[in-house]
Chain A
Amino acid sequence: MSRIGVFVCHCGENISATVDCAGVAEAMSRVPGVVHSVDYKYMCSDPGQTMIKDAIKEKKLDGVVVSACSPHMHEPTFRRACAEAGLNPYLCEMANIREHCSWVHEKSEATTLKAIDLVHKMVEKVKKNQPLYSIKVPVTKTALVLGGGIAGIQAALDIANAGHKVVMVERSPSIGGHMSQLSETFPTLDCSQCILTPRMVEVAQHPNITLYTYSELESMDGFIGNFKVRIRKKARCVDEKLCTGCGLCTTKCPTKKIPSEFNEGLGMRSAIYVPFPQAVPNKPVIDKTQCTFFLKGKCKVCEKVCPTKAIRYDQEDEIIEVDIGAIVLATGFNVLGAEHFPEYGYGRYRDVIQGLQFERIASASGPTSGAIRRPSDGTEPETIVFIACAGSRDEAKGIPYCSKICCMYTAKHAMLYKHKVHHGKAYVFYMDIRAGGKMYEEFVRRAIEEDDVKYIRGRVSRIYEEDGKLIVKGADTLLGHQAIEIRADMVVLASAAVANDGAEELAQKLHVSYDPYHFFAEAHPKLRPVETNTAGIFLAGACQAPRDIPETVSQASGAASKVAALFSQSELTREPVIAVVNRIAPPLYSTCTGCALCVPACPYQAIEMEEIKNRDGVVVKRAAKINPGLCQGCGTCVALCRVKAIDLQGFSNEQVFAELMAL
């Protein structure tokens, strides 16, 4: 007969306000096998835990049920308490009578009866529990940082400075990300590249960081501490060891009219190119889709002019395999494309641009060397209209969320414009000004009060061209929806920040969950903001949600400290909640039929087939085998197995059945 202890928690008044906790404890005391049943105000408190420990010792308990909150919260607490009293921690279970009962029901007898049912089924489960022992796995102390923007750079530097190896993968030819495109940064207006490029160089020179640019993640296998990653290093067609970055090839390349990605299409680049002068590494790449040699089979000008003979047209993509212990996802964001704004004429009128394009125009390294000029004719705009929330907070565009950075950068844009064109007029159409942040509100006030930027609360309905001017039609909702028409020379859309291209596929490769907008999902919105639900994979920056630079950097440092904490031990302890294929007496050896259908079903590639041999070494059977290091205990194989040859430790068929039969 079992000797089970039941401990009913009041959780202050969270539970006791609607559930008769003493009644639950009393009802449980009458369940066969329960030898101790009490209720207490705060079970998780020190005296509460002591009650459990004392009872285990005094009453020789062989199972414990704590009926309190979600096991998500305090299961580790109570299991640790049981372990301290000498009971195997996996003989302790929690019945959730808070989230599943007291919080969702009114005070009534039925609520108490439901709580009794919930506790009773856990009592029946615990009767079937077996002692389990945690699994130890080694840790590879190398981190993979995906993305070389400011988030990736910060995370990589922090991890590397903590003394661990870092592999950084960036898909474009240079690290730097969106931050390298920016002109000045709010709220201090310091030059973006001036603060960023030293860090880019530090990444390239750091002895602990291996940098793979123009590379992408091919595949990821394994689990926390033991990931196996394949990186596709795309062919640059340039021998990076020989290339000195002199830039002769880029100046001599005859194909020069390719819209530059770095300049958001406002400038041109050649077919062999370095994205921007401060690029890290400062080695060119041949764009095979544009290069005359790759398209027509002749040219080879770059090969002829290269003083170190570094051009390699026959270079092929290289697959690099690395063992990794933790992954930081820092793949950043993108801005909403032109096709989403037919009403604003974006893509149709050359002087309607988006925020990143304005950044390039305002940047000293940009196509106009920092002079504010219209893309269409190069004249100085006398009037600029800035439209905030272009796409953001707009259900019709499928983006109900706030892009967060636009209010601030729009104020910055208007300010930069006014600083450069003193007589110019800047208008900002906005819905609300969201300037929460240190020095942010002051910054916006400065734009309005000192730099005379005209803020108009209202939406723009349409923009059309007339006599070389852009007619912006809108309404001022603070003046009773009065119609407004502005004859502008240029319009800047603060277009919504969206998840980066390929975010969904990447998330699936890494088994990381994502939200409906393809931003990666954190494990807990408040308490675990830099972790994902996949252990060992962390988040930094705008791949999780739109973020500004200070937030991105602090989050990246947070992710880095998580990685450093993980790497501080040489072994990881894992929960033994894993699936196991049964073994029985001959002649069956296992009820597994060897159909191998569970192999493709496992999302973690944890199942392989093994041969069972008899004592003479003759193969008698092929059966599934689950790698305890890879198994995450999701139970997919258990549900799939027709013969129930697979069972999940801690949630076995017998335990679940006992729970159900108690109801």
Chain B
Amino acid sequence: MQDKIIQKAKELLSGGAVQVVIGYGQGTGDRVRAIFIQKPEDAGRLIMDGRCVQNLAGYLMKHEVRALGRAAIVARMPVLRSIAQLMYEEQFKDSDVAVIGISDANELVDLPDLNALKEYVRANPLKLTPEEQAEVDRLDAMTREERWAFWMEETSKCIKCYACRASCPMCYCARCTVEVNQPQWISVPSHDLGNLEWHIMRAMHLAGRCVNCGECTRACPVGIPLRLLNQRIIADIADNFGEEEDYALAAFKPDDKEDFIR
């Protein structure tokens, strides 16, 4: 697998199709980190194993990375989904990005262009795994008071480091709402109210956009299970609007259910 990726990266770089390949490389200790290969002879530094789970799509949105030229990205399913969503949000043109796709079965997927990527993502709709669903159901089974206590306990740990935001490929806004201070809707200090406001706001901003990569949870230094919020919304959207690619918060259809209006 790793060899195939290295081979593909070499081809792309030496043929001049891309100027940079974004992939996983050896970090400090036993860790992997994102690396940016700009010369074909460096492609050997790319690795691919069980540790390579970080969603790299976020890098595609950075000015510094865009400045390097056309990029290819090593893309597992969550990355492919992120790219598809970012395309829906008009953040990419077809000419901006090439992908080295890897299926859930750990096979190299040939995706010659972003349309092929879109088709591929459409053919593999986002679903929660049984374990993830069980976790959502466990929270659902709680009483309101228990659930409130659970989230107050979890969010009370938050130190407002915004690592969740930094790691999320969907958090690409030039000026985040939390930084809008005229007026200051979201309080900045990490007290109970400020933490709750921040996390609720982030979950709502990701509603219908989150690709369930889990990056926020992995990035959180205090271990808040942030993806649970998004997974619950993913389940709700699938139940109420089907698994369509349209943005559920904005797309209006005459046959949308209105049973929440009582």
Contact = CB atoms under 8 A, between A and B. Distances in A.
Chains A and B form a bound pair: yes
Interface of A: 504-505, 508, 588, 591, 593-601, 603, 609, 622, 640, 642-644, 653-654, 657-658
A595 B89 contact: yes
B174 A643 contact: yes
Contacts of A508: 254
Contacts of A595: 89-91
Contact of A622 (B90, B172, B205, B246): B90
Q: State the majority secondary structure of interface residues on B.
A: loop
B177 A644 contact: yes
Contacts of A609: 90
Which residue among A594, A598, A644, A653 has the maximum number of chain B CB atoms within 10 Å of its CB?
A644
A371 B232 CA distance: 68
A597 B254 contact: no
19 contacts: A505-B254, A591-B173, A591-B174, A591-B175, A593-B172, A593-B173, A594-B89, A594-B90, A595-B91, A596-B89, A597-B247, A598-B250, A600-B250, A600-B251, A601-B251, A640-B250, A644-B177, A644-B180, A658-B183
A643 B177 contact: yes
A600 B249 CA distance: 10
Interface in B160-183: 172-177, 180, 182-183
A72 B231 CA distance: 42
A643 B90 CA distance: 16
Given A504-B254, A640-B250, 7 more contacts: A597-B247, A597-B250, A599-B250, A622-B90, A640-B249, A644-B185, A653-B183
Interface residues of B, number: 21
B260 interface: no
Contacts of B246: 600
A516 to B, nearest CB: 12
A657 B205 contact: no
A289 to B, nearest CB: 25
Contact of A657 (B174, B176, B185): B185
B180 A643 contact: yes
A31 to B, nearest CB: 19
A601 B250 contact: yes
A596 B175 contact: no
Given A588-B174, A595-B90, A622-B90, A657 B250 contact: no
The 9 closest A-B pairs by CB, nearest first: A601-B250, A657-B183, A595-B89, A642-B205, A596-B90, A643-B173, A591-B175, A600-B250, A593-B173
B44 to A, nearest CB: 37
A504 B255 CA distance: 11
Contacts of B91: 594-595
A33 B172 CA distance: 41
A505 B255 CA distance: 10
B174 A593 contact: yes
Contacts of B177: 642-644
Contacts of A600: 246-247, 250-252
